[in-house]
Structure 1
Amino acid sequence: MAGITRYDPFNLSRVDPFSDIDDLFKGFFVRPMALEGQPQMQIKMDVKEADGAYTVHADIPGVKKEDIHVTIEGNQVSISAEVKKEKEEKQGEKVLRSERYYGKVARSFTLAQDVDEAKAQAKYADGVLELTLPKKAVSSAKKLAIQ
């Protein structure tokens, strides 16, 4: 009988006038990207840390490597790509349907340690961007002589 509670008609904690407010806006803020012919593309990635470097695998399918841009500023890494998707359906000489999408996707993240930009490497094959980001050597503290 642990689930039995005493009914109190004057208890206001049971009444929540805003309990259904989330249902009011459900589906109201739908992204227009869900239309047919437009990709719902976002960059998905794995970030791994080793002793001397970070390794990032980012899924960017259907993009040419010339359209991918990676910038490194300290410990912040930004990946952006320009997506160009074209699809055309023909019957004979007449074009019945043509779908084209041009857009840009981007993703930024911050690492725990600064990255050595000079030694960083990027490879792109089979829709996967692989970044090797070596960690910057931590400078040792310098003791200043007081004059």
Structure 2
Amino acid sequence: MANIVRRSPTLGDIARYDPFANIDDLFRSFGMRPLSIEGEAPTIKVDITEDDKAYKVRAEIPGVKKEDVKVQVEGNRVTISCETKQEKEEKEEKEGERTIAREIYQGSSYRSFTLASEVDETKAEAKYENGILELTLPKKEGTSARRIEVK
């Protein structure tokens, strides 16, 4: 037997209703790709691991040149940034044809995070290859937390 639930929408539900919210899903259901007018700069995804001596950061930054990647370490704060300049043409222009869609984007992306311990910037290493940035960030010695007695 089916469970029937009575639902009474609130004014907030009605005010937030957007009939075009899932229009991209409609195109995809017919096997079509919606036309994108704006391109997006890539997001930087990271995996962070640690051992007793260092943090290891593996960041995914596809489609960026090594010269355009910057890493900044300040105490226990790490910032990874990149400049993106990418052009992608859906269909090349030929005689008698015109361009239907073209995605061009440029800009910058960054990712910043805070680690539990300070990093020794002088011993930090960075390597970028095939869209993957690998950081080795040694922990600073002598910066352990100290418990303070409350009086």
Which of 75, 90, 93 does residue 90 from structure 1 map onto? Answer: 93
| Deviation for aligned residue 1:36 | 4.6
Cα distance between partner residues in 1 of 2:97 and 2:136:
48
* Shift of residue 80, structure 1, vs aligned partner: 0.4
Q: Which residue, out of 113, 118, 128, partners 1:114? A: 118
CA contact (8 A) 2:81 2:110 kept: yes
CA-based RMSD of the aligned residues comes to: 3.2
1:85-124 Cα distance to aligned partner (Å, 9 max, x none): 1123232597736532111000000000000000000000
The total of aligned residue pairs comes to: 122
Separation in 2 of the partners of 1:41 and 1:139?
Answer: 35
Q: Deviations over 1:21-54 (max 9, x none)?
A: 7844795xxxxxx935613521000000011000
Alpha-carbon distance in 2 for matches of 1:119, 1:42: 27
In proportion to residue count, which structure has more strand? Answer: 1
Q: Which residues in structure 2 correspond to 1:1-147 (within 5 Å)?
A: 17=10, 20=13, 23-24=16-17, 27=21, 35-36=36-37, 38-39=39-40, 41-88=42-89, 89-92=92-95, 96=99, 98-138=102-142
Relative to structure 2, which stretch is displaced further, 51-60 or 98-107?
98-107
Task: Tell me, in whole angstroms, the C-alpha distance in 1 between the residues paired with 2:14 and 2:121.
Answer: 48
**TM-score relative to the length of structure 1:** 0.69
Unaligned stretches of 5+ in structure 2?
Answer: 1-7, 22-34, 145-151
Structure showing greater Rg: 1
Name structure 1 gaps, 5 residues minimum: 1-14, 28-33, 141-147
